[in-house]
Amino acid sequence: MAQHLSVITHPDQAIASALPLLQAGAVIAMPTETVYGLAADATNPQAITRIYETKGRPRFNPLICHVSDLAMAERYGRFDPLSRQLAEQFWPGPLTLVVPIKPGCGLHDLATAGLDTVGLRAPRGFASELIAAFGKPLAAPSANTSGRISPTTAAHVEEDLGGQIPLILDADAAAVGVESTILKVEDGQIRLLRPGGLSVEDIEAATGLTVIRPEKAGAIIEAPGMLASHYAPNAGVRLNATVVHPGEAAITFGSAAPEGLEKAVAVLNLSASGDLAEAAANLFSFMKQADASGAASIAFTAIPAHGLGEAINDRLERAAAPR
């Protein structure tokens, strides 16, 4: 059944409207600096179930629990010294840390997919204020139908899920534009579970440690965004294209000018100047625009693999995976 939807932009009004809904176990759309999240009380099983139902999300895929700060995070997770160093260095920001759950903390098993670990993140800006006012973590996967393109604006959320949720909090376009980087510390080593809005190079520079990247084949689902097929538009996705076929949409980067570009039904450049941060911020929005063009497939030119390019390529590989 469709719900009456409110879209609110004023921060004070947003918190006043959001709190009673969250306390009642409702699901709302919350802006963060990465993407918009579908937020609900991480301690309430009925609320978490509503997240899964709204997204159509497999229940074995865990949810990130968003906290206001490290002090709140330490009420729910056990931080070894290296995990704490990472939190102190990069929170608030686009970093999720997978840590052991603190026994009896109140997080529900549905939020963690029954794992004995939890992914915790302290977002920047308005989301932090909302979580502090709520007083408990908010489970908040991206606010879109499971497996589809993540939303970076309130309008994206409304287009996809507007009939299923009562409230969207609108804080303009997400500044980072791709989901958080997910790390897990084991035996004094840092494992990368998902590349994202914080580059591996920045993590290595801050810690002096080499980050261990995942083996993609057959990876155990330890964190969100690890499903092989994810972030997918309705159109097919073709990567590292040097030729654009008639009827395709083209998404390019930098000065790339693939053969047949003039025959594309839509052409979008993630960053004409070759800026990977700009490309990350534009990625999901441009995928949605290309998908809306009616093209049967979207051809992407090559994206450099360093810095935020690692996260962009990860999202594109999952978008292009068999469904």
User: Which two three-digit tokens encode residue 15?
Assistant: 């918190």
Alpha-carbon torsion 105, 146, 186, 71, what sign? negative
Tell me whether residue 174 is in a domain: yes
| Residue-level pLDDT at 230 | 62
Total domain count, the chain:
2
Output phi, psi for 183, to 5 deg.
-125, 150
- Binned at pLDDT 50, 70 and 90, residue 1 comes out as very low
If asked whether residues 166 and 69 sit together in one domain, one would say yes
Tell me whether residue 269 is in a domain: yes
If asked whether residues 73 and 39 sit together in one domain, one would say yes
If asked whether residues 203 and 66 sit together in one domain, one would say yes
Tell me whether residue 228 is in a domain: no
| Residue-level pLDDT at 231 | 64
Average pLDDT (21-45) is 96
Give the amino acid at 245: H
Domain harbouring 281, CATH code: 3.40.50.11030
- Which residue would you say has higher pLDDT here, 109 or 95? 95
If asked whether residues 63 and 125 sit together in one domain, one would say yes
Nearest to 301 by CA among 266, 277, 269, 264: 269
| Boundaries of domain holding 162 | 6-212
pLDDT digits (tens, 9 = 90+) for 100-132: 999 999 999 888 877 899 999 999 999 999 999
Output phi, psi for 223, to 5 deg.
-160, 165
If asked whether residues 161 and 271 sit together in one domain, one would say no
pLDDT digits (tens, 9 = 90+) for 267-308: 999 999 999 989 988 998 899 999 999 999 999 999 999 988
Output phi, psi for 292, to 5 deg.
-70, -15
If asked whether residues 42 and 164 sit together in one domain, one would say yes
Tell me whether residue 218 is in a domain: no
Tell me whether residue 217 is in a domain: no
If asked whether residues 207 and 266 sit together in one domain, one would say no
| Residue-level pLDDT at 294 | 93
Tell me whether residue 219 is in a domain: no
| Residue-level pLDDT at 57 | 62
Specify which of 8-17, 59-68, 176-185, 229-238 reaches the highest per-range mean pLDDT. Answer: 176-185
